[in-house]
Amino acid sequence: MPAERDDAPTSAPAPGSTASLRSANQRRVIRLLQQQTAGEPLTQADIARSTQLAPATVSNIVRDLTAAGMVETVMGSGRRGTTVRISRDAGLVVGIDFGHRHVRVAIGDLTGEVIADEREPIAQDHRYGDGLDRAAAMLDSLLAKLDATREDVLNIGLGLPAPITREDVVMSSAILPGWVGVNARVEAEARLGRPAHIDNDANLGALAEHRHGAGMGHPNMVFVKVSSGVGAGMILDGELFRGSHGTAGEIGHLTIDEQGPFCRCGSRGCLEAYASIGMAATALADQLPNASIDDIVAAAKNGNVSALRMFEDAGLHLGWGLAMLANLIDPSAIVVGGDMARAGDLLLDSIHIGMRRHALASVSSTTLVTRAALGDRASVIGALLLALDRTDLVPAQGLG
């Protein structure tokens, strides 16, 4: 069942009217159910208490939402009585994440719970059309297992490891050359046939870690992805912050040393040159030739002094960059993820030292710096949450 897209033109009722009040109240009940379904099921009395709506109003809303197929009531066993939850048939959302050398697809229900997912390798230099066709095939295969079709998918979230403009165009990226200049939303909607929403992988990682990971309970938090490049996604006052042109969070190109190595961005001495997989491979080219990041982590854990020193120096420089970000943003948590974070404390311990050296004491003492909780699934979960956020189950006139 297709829902209104929040950016679609609608003949909205006048603000302040009874119709807009009704749809706002219906939306509030649905939001509550979406947040709570994973936990204790809610009775109508619970809903009235949490929303402060009158019990009779809640009763009308549940009746209308049930008739519209949005919620279902479940007969209680024992003391709880009848509870209300989002209907399993109300629809699905999808998250797709293109990484350095992989594509992931996840399907979720309308509470954001992942009910199916899959990961496949993909060539780094793939053309965007081939990548989307691959994602479409993976999606269809997963849907078939759930006995569902693309018609059941209300929205798709798509993550890419590149800066994305506000108009959904992929900007210059050394990581996915086959996507540069592409309007990812237009192409994804053409090949997948459903409404799509695009964002940068670090932004989506921030969304996921904020809602379900190491950043829970922190309305101002930053997710830093340290991988082929270094990117940051920022949650400010509880919302993903994208900046004026969609490119906020480019921490990888902070100038650490203006006489440092030239960077592909046109500047010199960028943080990426001191802390990224590329730097690690270059630094260890003689000692550990052709080593993957996991090989390098293993070598460091076995006491290889070159690998240990590389993580130490990378961590000190990351801490410097994070200190500058923290002085400016004053977050309460910074969550470190991406492939390099698999080194764990080998990297985190030095990050803490760098933070303390370079941030104001009042900032470093109040900013939690911790490892990401969702591992390499953060971006695809974030993509699914983006799709969920863009799914408005209640039309402007209200249901019923």
Query: Which residues here bind a copy of itself, judged by CB under 8 A?
Result: 14-16, 21, 24-25, 28, 51-54, 57, 163, 171-172, 218-220, 232, 234, 236-237, 239, 241-251, 253-255, 258, 265-267, 320, 323-325, 327-332, 357-363, 366-367
What letter does residue 13 receive in the DSSP assignment? P
Cβ 104 vs Cβ 138: under 8 Å:
no
Q: In the beta sheet, which residues pair with residue 368?
A: 333
- 39 vs 217 by CB, closer to a copy of itself: 217
Q: Nearest approach, Cβ of 219 to a copy of itself (angstroms)?
A: 7
Q: Nearest approach, Cβ of 145 to a copy of itself (angstroms)?
A: 40
- The torsion angles phi and psi of 215, rounded to 5 degrees, stand at -100, 10
Residue 152 CA, distance from chain mean position: 22
By CB atoms closer than 10 A (0-12, 13-18, 19+), residue 340 is: buried
Distance CA 10, CA 181 (A): 30
- 54 vs 146 by CB, closer to a copy of itself: 54
Q: Nearest approach, Cβ of 183 to a copy of itself (angstroms)?
A: 17
For residue 259, CA distances in Å to 70, 134, 280, 381 come to: 60, 43, 20, 39
Distance CA 282, CA 291 (A): 10
- 54 vs 190 by CB, closer to a copy of itself: 54
Cβ 330 vs Cβ 219: under 8 Å:
no
Q: Nearest approach, Cβ of 246 to a copy of itself (angstroms)?
A: 7
User: Which residues, in sequence order, are CB contacts of 266 under 8 Å at separation 6+?
Assistant: none
- 66 vs 247 by CB, closer to a copy of itself: 247
- The torsion angles phi and psi of 375, rounded to 5 degrees, stand at 55, -145
- 12 vs 74 by CB, closer to a copy of itself: 12
Q: Nearest approach, Cβ of 202 to a copy of itself (angstroms)?
A: 12
Q: Nearest approach, Cβ of 198 to a copy of itself (angstroms)?
A: 16
Q: Nearest approach, Cβ of 68 to a copy of itself (angstroms)?
A: 19
- 107 vs 232 by CB, closer to a copy of itself: 232
User: Which residues, in sequence order, are CB contacts of 254 under 8 Å at separation 6+?
Assistant: 270, 271, 321, 324
- 52 vs 302 by CB, closer to a copy of itself: 52
Which pairing describes strands 114-121 and 102-108: parallel, antiparallel, or unpaired? Answer: antiparallel
- 323 vs 385 by CB, closer to a copy of itself: 323
Q: Nearest approach, Cβ of 65 to a copy of itself (angstroms)?
A: 15
